[in-house]
Amino acid sequence: MQPIHVLKQQSPVEGWDQQDPEEAFTLPSRYFFDDTLFKAERDNIFMHAWHVAGHVNEFAEPGQYVVVDLFDQSVVIAKNRQGEIRAFHNVCQHRGNRLLENRRGTTGGVVRCAYHSWCYEMDGSLRGAPRCDRMKNFDLQQFNIPQLRTEEMGGFIYFNFDAEAPSLRELFPGADAEMRRVFPNLDQMRLIDEQDVIVPANWKVIMDNSIEGYHFKLSGPCHIDLAKLIDFKGYALTKRDKWWTYIAPANLSMNEAYGVKLREDLNPDECFFNIGMWPNNTFYTFPFSEFLGSFMMIPLDAERSLLRFGYYSANPETAEVSKACMKWMNEDLGPEDIALNISVQKGLHSLGYDQGRYMIDPQRSNESEHLVHHFHRLVFNGIHGERAR
Ligand code: FES
Ligand SMILES: [Fe+2]
């Protein structure tokens, strides 16, 4: 008889994606910690996917930039002097020094390498290199930093390492309109806060947790509070091909939320809204708050992820209920989910577990794990087959 840990490493995946979703077994546990599978996700999924750089208003002025690190890569997204938003690799073309260390900032229009002062425009083109006039055949243009593709959708700028990747609108048809329906003032939004949290769990463990409502009434006290703030029966989790939404009307009979008294004249359209874009970008809002949240699950390695929470608002003054909601997210609901994710990551290593069952209830999307199954199928195909598209 083979030892159980060998069986766990070899559990069959052949035909995994052919299972009837309503009877399907979950992805084998090694998909959540195996380094080889993680590298396949990096190469076949993330290096061909669109990554959020920031809201367009984070690039309002020439020289404004954002740095995004992903695996061992670092990318600068900036507005150049011509008023164009461009993405380029965060690396000097002389001897490879990293150019910008801060997450955000504004340059005077030029970035200077700290090593030998080569200077670049904020689109990566080389403007000057000290003493290059003394060099034989030195052509500045030969040392422009390679650019990456950028696109805008729903008020946010994205970049992609793959020059051939399908456009955002091909991948996520209707997502722009859906975001603008819920956030009519999307273009006026400004970043008000950003929190990074490193969680010792695979990025998919965290995604899985965020795309099902099965655990809402069955896990911790903050989740039960969340279920009360919404019309839980009306909570609908809807899959498209490469994007999905999970939306519930607010429970308008509430007179208090997040410890704050609510106004009498509640907006009848108040809702809990989430929109997810393959593979790891989510935007959301909570009932009774007026901010837009971004929630990115950035993989660091097979068993660690950086959760990046962005908060955006169109109002110059953040309303008290929005502040209370953000605090509740950061200090109450978020930690409750993070504790579950860390616990799952530990459990996945157990020799006593390999594959569970998706709890799919086609009649009740609010309590069903159909989005988890759909997401895993995209991951499976991304790793083993059709390249993240
Ligand atoms: S490495 Fe940047 S100027 Fe030398
Ligand atoms: Fe949760």
Q: pLDDT, tens digit, for every residue of 121-171?
A: 999 999 999 999 999 999 999 999 999 999 999 999 999 999 999 999 999
Query: What are the pLDDT digits (tens) for 225-282?
Result: 999 999 999 999 999 999 999 999 999 999 999 999 999 899 999 999 999 999 999 9
192, 312 Cβ separation under 8 angstroms? yes
pLDDT mean over 116-125: 98
Residue nearest ligand 1's atom 3 by CA: 116
CA distance 18 to 380: 11
Cβ atoms of 56 and 113 within 8 Å: the answer is: no
Instruction: Judge contact between 222 and 362, C-beta under 8 A.
Output: no
Sign of CA pseudo-dihedral 380, 381, 387, 388: negative
Rounded Cα distance between 371 and 349, Å, is 24
Looking at the CA of 224, name the nearest ligand: 2
Average pLDDT over the chain, rounded to an integer? 94
Give Rg (Cα) of the chain: 23
Of the pLDDT bands very low, low, confident and very high (cuts 50, 70, 90), residue 4 is: low
How much is the pLDDT for 292?
97
Specify the 3-state DSSP secondary structure of 92: coil
From 110, 118, 135, 143, the mutation candidate for ligand 1 (largest count of ligand atoms within 8 A of CB) is 118
Ligand 1 centroid from CA 129, angstroms:
9
Residue 5 has pLDDT above 70, yes or no: no
CB atoms within 10 A of CB 130: 10
Identify which ligand lies nearest to the alpha carbon of 344: 2
Measured in Å, residue 133 CA sits from the centre of ligand 2 at: 60
Ligand 2 centre to CA of 215 (Å) is 7
Burial of 83 (0-12, 13-18, 19+ CB in 10 A): exposed
How much is the pLDDT for 124? Answer: 98
Judged against a pLDDT cut of 90, whether residue 2 lies above it is answered with no
Residue 277's closest CA among 386, 171, 160, 152? 171
Cβ neighbour number for residue 177 with a 10 Å cutoff: 9
User: How many angstroms separate the CA atoms of 148 and 153, rounded?
Assistant: 16
pLDDT class of 388 with cuts at 50, 70, 90: very low
| Ligand 1: residue whose CA is nearest its atom 1 | 95
Give the three-state DSSP class for 276.
Answer: strand
The one-letter code for the residue type at 92 is C
Find the helix or strand (DSSP H, E) in which 277 lies: strand 271-277
Answer whether 97's CB lies under 8 Å from 88's CB.
no
Structure tokens at 276: 């997810």
Please identify, by atom number, the ligand 1 atom nearest to the C-alpha of residue 118.
3
pLDDT, tens only, 21-32: 999 999 999 999
Residue 113 CA: which ligand 1 atom is closest? 2
How confident is residue 9, by pLDDT bands cut at 50, 70 and 90?
low
Predicted confidence band of residue 12 (pLDDT cuts 50, 70, 90): low
Distance (Å) from CA 50 to ligand 1 centroid: 29
Structural contact between residues 114 and 77, judged by C-beta atoms closer than 8 angstroms? no
Other CB atoms within a 10 A radius of the CB of residue 319 amount to 16
Please tell me whether the peptide bond between 146 and the residue prior to it is cis, using omega within 30 degrees of 0.
Answer: no
pLDDT band at 387 (very low <50, low <70, confident <90, very high): very low
Taking residues 56-62, report their average pLDDT: 98
- The H-assigned helical ranges of the chain are 4-10, 35-44, 168-171, 175-182, 203-210, 221-229, 320-328, 334-348, 370-384
101 CB-near residues (< 8 Å, 6+ apart): 67
Which atom of ligand 1 lies nearest, measured to the CA of 92? 2
Q: Which residues form the pocket of ligand 1, taking CB atoms under 6 Å from any ligand atom?
A: 92, 94-95, 97, 113, 115-116, 118
Centre of ligand 1 from the C-alpha of residue 105, in Å: 20
How many angstroms separate the CA atoms of 238 and 34, rounded? 30
CA of 97 to the centre of ligand 1 (A): 6
**Which of the ligands is closest to the CA of residue 272?**
2
Tokens 């946010």 belong to residue: 156
Mutate to test the pocket of ligand 1, among 90, 110, 115, 126 (most ligand atoms within 8 A of CB): 115
User: Stretch 10-26: mean pLDDT, rounded?
Assistant: 86
- Strands in 51-55's sheet, in edge-to-edge order, are 51-55, 156-160, 147-153, 85-89, 73-79, 64-70, 104-106
Nearest bound ligand to CA 119? 1
Instruction: Show the domains of the chain with their CATH numbers.
Output: 51-160 (2.102.10.10), 174-384 (3.90.380.10)
Using the predicted structure, report yes or no on whether residue 185 has a pLDDT greater than 80: yes
Residue 183's SS3 state is coil
Contact between residue 289 and residue 182 where contact means Cβ atoms under 8 Å apart: no
DSSP letter for 56, please. G
Q: Which amino acid is at 58?
A: E
Burial class (CB in 10 A: 0-12, 13-18, 19+), 34: middle
| Separation of CA 98 and ligand 1 centre (Å) | 9
pLDDT above 70 for 11: no
Nearest alpha carbon to residue 148 among 164, 161, 158: 161
Cβ(149)–Cβ(87) below 8 Å: yes
Distances (CA, A) of 187 to 152, 178, 199, 386: 11, 14, 31, 34
Residue 385 pLDDT level (bands cut at 50, 70, 90): confident
User: What pLDDT is attached to residue 173?
Assistant: 98
More confident: 92 or 14: 92
**Distance between CA atoms of residues 238 and 170, nearest Å:** 19
Mean pLDDT of 194-204: 97
